């Protein structure tokens, strides 16, 4: 009995190789989810600006010193209404309007792995999008991986100017 081995060879076109590379990546990401590949990364240097839930990144009406963040509420419209919020990256501070001229200010440095720029705010919950840790408006952990609350700062309003004491 004779055994015949057929060997076929050839090459894929550049377009076909590129298609297979992209579709393979898409299949893997679909199976695991994009968060799987970006979780616990410490090289995130820019805020997640892809969604509509992110606060403005410019400092309109917001000034920062070593000891305080000052917000002119007439200019900083993101904080004008209850539920409005801002991420002040220069001071690493999250500010939320609680209503009735009351504001909470928290550190934006996540207690899980110190991400400080990737935040969303929905249903009175801050979410660190680096790893999915969630915190209420007082800074307490809603769910981890973080296990410690965010530090809070005193916030006062006088003459339509909000001052966050960083001292």
Which 3-state string (H, E, C) describes the chain? CCCCCCCCCCCCCHHHHHHHHHHHHHHHHHHHCHHHHHCCCCCCCCCCCCCCCCCCCCCCCEEECCCEEEEECCCCHHHCCCCCEEEECCCCEEEEEEECCEEEEEECCCCCCCCCCCEEEECCEEEECCCCCEEECCCCEEECCCCCCCCEECEEEECCEEEEECC
Instruction: Dump pLDDT digits (tens) for 25-54.
Output: 555 455 545 444 444 444 443 334 333 344
pLDDT at 162 (0 to 100): 92
Q: What is the mean pLDDT of residues 84-101?
A: 89
% of residues, the chain, pLDDT over 70: 63
Query: Between residues 122 and 39, which one has the greater pLDDT?
Result: 122
Q: What is the per-residue pLDDT across 55-76, written as a single tens digit (0 to 9) for each?
A: 444 447 888 888 999 999 988 8
């Amino acid at each position: 009995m004779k055994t015949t081995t057929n060997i076929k060879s050839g090459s894929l076109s550049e377009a076909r190789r590129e298609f297979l590379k992209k579709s393979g990546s898409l299949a893997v990401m679909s199976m695991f989810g994009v968060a799987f590949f970006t979780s616990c990364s410490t090289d995130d240097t820019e805020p997640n600006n892809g969604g509509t839930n992110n606060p403005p990144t410019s400092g309109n009406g917001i000034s920062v010193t070593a000891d305080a963040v000052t917000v002119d509420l007439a200019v900083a419209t993101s904080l004008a209404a209850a539920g409005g919020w801002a991420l002040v990256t220069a001071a690493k501070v999250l500010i939320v309007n609680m209503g009735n001229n009351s504001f909470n200010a928290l550190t934006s440095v996540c207690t899980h792995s110190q991400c400080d720029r990737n935040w969303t705010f929905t249903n009175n919950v801050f979410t660190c999008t680096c790893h999915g840790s969630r915190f209420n408006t007082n800074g307490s952990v809603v769910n981890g991986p973080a296990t410690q609350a965010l530090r809070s700062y005193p916030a006062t309003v006088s003459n339509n100017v909000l001052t966050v004491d960083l001292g």
